[in-house]
Copies of this chain bind each other. A is one copy, B any other.
Amino acid sequence: MQATTFAALGEPSRLQIVELLRTGPLSVGEISDALSIRQPQVSKHLRVLSGSGIVAVEPVARHRIYHLEPEVFEQINDWVDSFERLWEVRLDSLDTYLNSIRAKPTEDGSEADG
């Protein structure tokens, strides 16, 4: 998993753009208008997103229509799955571990359970 992918999504305006594109492909001007971000900034953000393979562009006359690329989302999905699969196996051993910690007399009983 590439840190750059998460970094691209870690900027608020870019995350907004990605979530906006979830509704369907849009031109630069439409994104700029919808999110009230100036056009040069939108182009810059789209460049970063494009560099991470999160979006791709389709030129249409004078417009450039950006859309999301499913591949990256599958990568993220697989990455997250690699964690959740392990927890299924490790959940009870973590519990055992935490309990073993608390088994020690703590002299203040302030163990927060959440």
Contacts and interface: CB of A to CB of B under 8 A. Distances in A.
A37 to B, nearest CB: 14
A24 to B, nearest CB: 7
A83 B68 contact: yes
Given A22-B86, A59-B112, A3 B12 contact: yes
Interface in A77-111: 77, 80-84, 86-87, 90, 94, 97-98, 101, 106
A23 B21 CA distance: 35
Interface of A is mostly: helix
Interface residues of A, number: 44
Nearest to A86: B22
B90 A84 contact: no
